[in-house]
Amino acid sequence: MSLILGIESSCDETAAALVTSDRRILAHRLAGQAAAHAPYGGVVPEIAARAHVEILPRLIEESLAEAGVSLGDVDGIAATAGPGLIGGVMVGLVTAKGLALAGGKPLVAVNHLEGHALSPMLADPDLAFPYLLLLVSGGHCQLLLVKGVGDYRRLATTIDDAAGEAFDKTAKLLGLGQPGGPAVEAAAQAGDSGAVPLPRPLVGSGEPHFSFAGLKSAVLRAKESGRHADADIAASFQQAVVDCLVDRTRLALAAADEASALVVAGGVAANQRIRSALQALATDHGLLFVAPPLWLCTDNAAMIGWAGALRYEAGLTDPLDAPARARWPLDPEAERARGAGVKA
Could you list the residues that contact ligand KG4 (CB under 6 A)?
A: 11, 137-139, 164, 167-168, 179-182, 185, 266-268, 270-271, 298-299
Nearest-5° Cα angle at 261, 255 to 264: 95
Q: Which of 269, 299, 301, 304 binds Zn ion (CB under 5 A)?
A: 299
Residue 178 CB, nearest distance to ligand KG4 (Å)?
Answer: 7
Establish whether the linkage from the previous residue to 130 is cis, with ω within 30° of 0.
yes
**167 touches, from ligand KG4, Zn ion, none (C-beta below 5 to 8 Å by class):** ligand KG4
d(CA 330, CA 117): 10
**268 touches, from ligand KG4, Zn ion, none (C-beta below 5 to 8 Å by class):** ligand KG4
**103 touches, from Zn ion, ligand KG4, none (C-beta below 5 to 8 Å by class):** none
Give the residue with the Cβ less far from ligand KG4, 32 or 57: 32
**164 touches, from Zn ion, ligand KG4, none (C-beta below 5 to 8 Å by class):** ligand KG4
Give the residue with the Cβ less far from ligand KG4, 239 or 317: 239
Residue 291 CB, nearest distance to Zn ion (Å)?
Answer: 16
- How many alpha carbons fall within 13 Å on the CB side of residue 272? 8
**87 touches, from ligand KG4, Zn ion, none (C-beta below 5 to 8 Å by class):** none
Give the residue with the Cβ less far from Zn ion, 85 or 259: 85
DSSP track, 201-255: TTTT-SS--B--HHHHHHHHHHHHHT-S-HHHHHHHHHHHHHHHHHHHHHHHHHH
The answer to whether 273 and 300 have CB atoms below 8 angstroms apart is no
Question: Pairing between strand 107-111 and 76-82?
Answer: parallel
Say whether residue 8 binds Zn ion (CB under 5 A): no
Give the residue with the Cβ less far from Zn ion, 235 or 268: 268
Binding residues for Zn ion, rule: CB under 5 A, are: 299
